[in-house]
Structure formats: C-alpha cells, structure tokens
C-alpha cells in the first residue's frame, strides 16, 4: 500500500509539471486529447486537463513529461551516424520579392531558373543517391556528396546559360541571381510528409555565404575554396580570396569570389566586411588561454527585480609563447545598466584586487573591458575571479565556452520564496537549436534558499549552454 501511495505522489508531481509546461507553451486539453488519439489510448476524457492526465496510464504520463522536457531526444548532441556531409550550392533570385515587379513576372523567373539548372551538364549527370535538392521558393539548395568541384562547375555552367537568356530580355525581365558555395554536415530528418529532408550547419552556413553575395556573385567559403584551389591552376585563376565577412551571432567567414570569363562578378559588396583586428582585440582570452575550469555562480539577491550577483571563476593556462599581463571580458545583461552601477570587482587567486585597464564598450546592454593581471608565463596557470551585479528579469543565463575546457559548473542560488523551474539547455548559436543538456541539474532546497548546480566535463570550444529558472 505504501508503494502505491508513493507512486501516486510521483504521478501527481509529474502531472503538476506537465500542466505547468502546457500553460507556458499555450497548450491545453485539446492538445492532450490529440496525443491520446495519436498513441491510441482510450480513457474517460470528460474532465479538465488534470482529470485527463490522472486517468492516463503511469508510463504514458512519464513519457509525455520526458517529451515535453525534451528528454526524449537526450543525447542528440552525441549522434554522429545521422550526419552526412555535402558540398552545397545555394542560389536565389535577386529582388525576387520586389513588390514593384508583378507576381507573374517573378514566377516566370523562378520557372526559367529551374529550367536552366535542369539543362546543365552537372545536373543532368548527377548521381541521384549522392545528391539532395531542396527548393526554397525563389531558389534552391543542391548538395553533392561526391565532389567539391560540382557546386562550382554548376555555378559556372548556369551563369553561361543565364547570360545567353538575358540577351533576349530587357529591364525587370533580366534574371539576376546570387550563389553561395560551402561544405558541411547535415542531419537527415523526416518532414511532415514523411519524406527525407536535411537540416544542419552545412546548409545553414551556405545560406549565410549566399546572403553576403551581390548581383551575379558566386561566393564560396574558405572550406571548399581552398580545397579546390589545390586541384588545378584553373581553379587558382578563378577562385579569389576577398577577405573576412561578418555573419550572424558575431561569427566571421573568410570569403572567396569565383569569377572568370562568362561567369561570376568581380565586383563584390563591401558591406559586412570585417575590419582587421586591433592590438587589443588580438588579446582576447580565446587567442591566448586554454580554459581548464570555468565556474559561473549566480546569486539572486532580489526576486522582484531579479538583481543577480554574478561570479565568474576562470582557471586558465597561457598557451601563447610569451607572458600575458591582461585579460579581456565581455558581459551582457537583460536591462540597461551603467558600468558604474555594476559593482565590478576582479581578483586573482590570492584575493588581490585587479585593475581595469580600459572600458572599451559601455553600451546599455553590453560591456567590454580589459583587466591587468600579474604576468602569466607560457604554460603556466592562474585563477581569475570576476564579480558583478546585473538584473536577470528574463530568468536565464547563457555562456559560451571560449576554448576546450575540462570542466564547467553552473550554480544558481535563489531565495526560497521563489520556486525555480530549472532547465539547462545546450544551444547551437548558429542555428538556434536548443536541446536538454546532460547530465540533469541537481536541486537542493534549504530553509532560506534553493541551490541549483550543474557540472559538465570535457567541453569543446564555443559550446554554449543556457540555464533557465
């Protein structure tokens, strides 16, 4: 009987959490009924959401909670066999969505583009099992698994066809395109029609490359350009490095412009070009230090404003060839704040206060500054502690690991009068994909506060994690 009572308590806790998640995601009783129908579960369903869940089999309730938490895809970050690497060709029509151009004319351009691609030798002779084609409305993405040359050859051949076509057209009827070429992995997934589709950084970054291009540009990332330039003198003549460009999330890509007689466009847009690193920028921690251990300690001081004391403890090793006497910090917040209001304090492993050398960026939501430290010799390690106060009304904190790291620890301390809904997510900064991180966080409740801790070992450079409460 005691065991039965324990099971009931567990199930009621699960139901309470399910109802909380459903409320947050604006799902209700109708959604629950749909899930029961989908899983062929027959129960009395006349009551409210709570009554429905109470009547559900215990194992179904448990699995539903895991699904809502995202735990049913736990370990997704470690799946390797699902990825396939393709050499990508991504194209769209310039100004295809221009409202001044009649829709009929825009549709005509899409039809013409599809026809011209279909006539190319590369497309006609493609290996079906080694090729994926994804229509994108005003263009398409084509992935070739067998050769890095094929996207470039397709672009060259297509441009020749477009140039011939444009000789017969005038004004808005002239077809202009932009092309991005890159290589990278994708996951094979099922779409709503149960057909194979692909998604992942390979195709996403290729789209980023294309977005940088202008009229009739053929842009390539360094990953594929440097590979093909080694193959022949022909490629060396037509694949031209043009510098580093900024893409989303502060990332940078080295871009090559592909052009020659009858294809491409020598003139490249100047926007989004990355400036050369200044001396100070070259001193950012990821360039000079390996992070052995990272501790991110958050102590919520006021649950109404979510004023939070942040403590960052970095144990790092100098991996450069010379002694380093300064370190760079970049700090963000959810509310506008003056630097003078943040109570910034930096100290070394002996508790000695360290001097802020310069405040380089002092924007309302973003700060960057350099701190003077006692010189760290090459291959030597030191622990540095940063403490500052900043409100966290969004009740989440995201941190990106600057380098390979042996261990990272999150710890959240919050007054007991606030009941935190804890989740730790692994975040793909480029794609925005978020999945539950492993292992699960540990929650300890005391008389005056609740303490959440989470530790992860063997992190890779630029891994990003988010804690929500």
Encoding tokens for residue 348? 């070394």
Q: Tell me the pLDDT tens digit for each residue of 388-415.
A: 999 998 888 888 887 888 999 999 999 9
Q: Are strands 405-415 and 449-459 parallel, antiparallel or unpaired?
A: antiparallel
Q: What is the pLDDT of residues 35-62, one digit of tens each?
A: 888 888 888 767 888 888 888 888 888 8
Selected residue with higher pLDDT from 228 and 65: 228
Whole-angstrom distance, CA of residue 456 vs CA of residue 469: 18
Say what the pLDDT of residue 136 is.
Answer: 83
Structural domains in the chain plus CATH codes: 2-69 (no CATH), 83-258 (3.30.70.1230), 281-468 (2.60.40.1730)
pLDDT number for residue 259: 96
| Model pLDDT for residues 89-140, shown as the tens digit of each residue | 999 998 765 666 677 778 889 999 999 999 999 999 999 989 999 888 889 9
pLDDT in tens, 279-295: 344 445 556 888 899 99
Q: If we measure between CA atoms, which residue out of 224, 219, 223, 222 comes closest to residue 209?
A: 219
Across 332-339, average pLDDT: 88
pLDDT in tens, 240-278: 988 878 776 556 788 999 999 999 999 888 765 554 434
In this prediction, residue 76 carries a pLDDT of: 40
Supply the pLDDT for residue 429: 66
| Residue, of 204 and 450, whose pLDDT is higher | 450
Average pLDDT taken over every residue of the chain: 84
CB of 401 within 8 A of CB of 408? yes
In whole angstroms, give the CA distance from residue 461 to residue 355: 28
Longest dimension (CA), the chain: 86
């Amino acid at each position: 009987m005691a065991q039965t009572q324990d099971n009931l308590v567990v199930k009621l806790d699960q139901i309470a959490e399910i109802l909380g998640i459903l409320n947050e995601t604006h799902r209700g009783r109708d959604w629950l009924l749909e899930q029961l129908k989908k899983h062929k579960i027959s129960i009395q369903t006349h009551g409210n959401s709570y009554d429905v869940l109470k009547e559900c089999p215990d194992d179904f309730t448990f699995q539903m909670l895991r699904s809502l938490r995202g735990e049913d895809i736990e370990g997704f970050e470690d799946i390797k066999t699902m990825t396939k690497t393709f050499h990508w060709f991504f194209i769209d029509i310039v100004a295809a969505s221009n409202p001044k151009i009649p829709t009929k004319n825009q549709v005509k351009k899409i039809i013409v583009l599809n026809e011209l691609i279909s006539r190319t030798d590369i497309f006609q002779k493609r290996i079906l099992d080694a090729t994926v084609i994804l229509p994108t409305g005003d263009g398409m993405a084509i992935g070739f698994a067998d050769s890095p040359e094929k996207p470039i050859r397709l672009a060259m051949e297509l441009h020749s066809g477009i140039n011939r076509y444009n000789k017969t057209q005038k004004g808005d009827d002239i077809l202009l395109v932009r092309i991005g070429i890159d290589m990278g992995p994708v996951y094979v997934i099922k779409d709503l029609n149960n057909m194979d589709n692909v998604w992942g950084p390979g195709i996403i970054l290729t789209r980023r490359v294309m977005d940088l291009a202008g009229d009739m540009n053929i842009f390539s990332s360094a990953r594929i350009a440097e590979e093909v330039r080694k193959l022949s003198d022909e490629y060396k003549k037509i694949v031209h490095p043009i510098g580093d460009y900024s893409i989303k999330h502060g990332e940078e890509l080295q871009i090559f412009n592909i052009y020659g007689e009858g294809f491409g466009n020598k003139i490249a847009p100047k926007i989004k070009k990355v400036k050369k690193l200044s001396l100070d920028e070259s001193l950012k921690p990821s360039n000079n230090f390996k992070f052995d251990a990272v501790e991110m300690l958050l102590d919520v001081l006021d649950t109404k404003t979510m004023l939070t004391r942040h403590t960052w403890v970095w144990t790092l090793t100098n991996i450069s060839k010379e002694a380093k006497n300064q370190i760079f910090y970049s700090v963000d917040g959810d509310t506008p704040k003056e630097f003078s209001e943040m109570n910034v304090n930096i100290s070394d492993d002996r508790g000695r206060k360290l001097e802020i050398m310069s405040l380089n960026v002092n924007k309302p939501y973003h700060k960057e500054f350099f701190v003077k430290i006692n010189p760290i010799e090459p291959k030597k390690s030191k622990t540095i502690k940063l403490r500052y106060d900043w409100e966290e009304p969004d009740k989440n904190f995201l941190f990106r690991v600057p380098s390979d790291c042996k261990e990272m620890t999150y710890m959240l301390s919050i007054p007991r009068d606030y009941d935190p809904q804890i989740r730790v997510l692994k975040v793909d900064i480029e794609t925005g994909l978020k999945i539950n991180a492993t292992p699960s966080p540990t929650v300890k409740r005391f008389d005056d506060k609740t303490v959440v801790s989470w530790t992860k070992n063997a992190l890779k450079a630029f891994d990003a994690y988010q804690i929500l409460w």
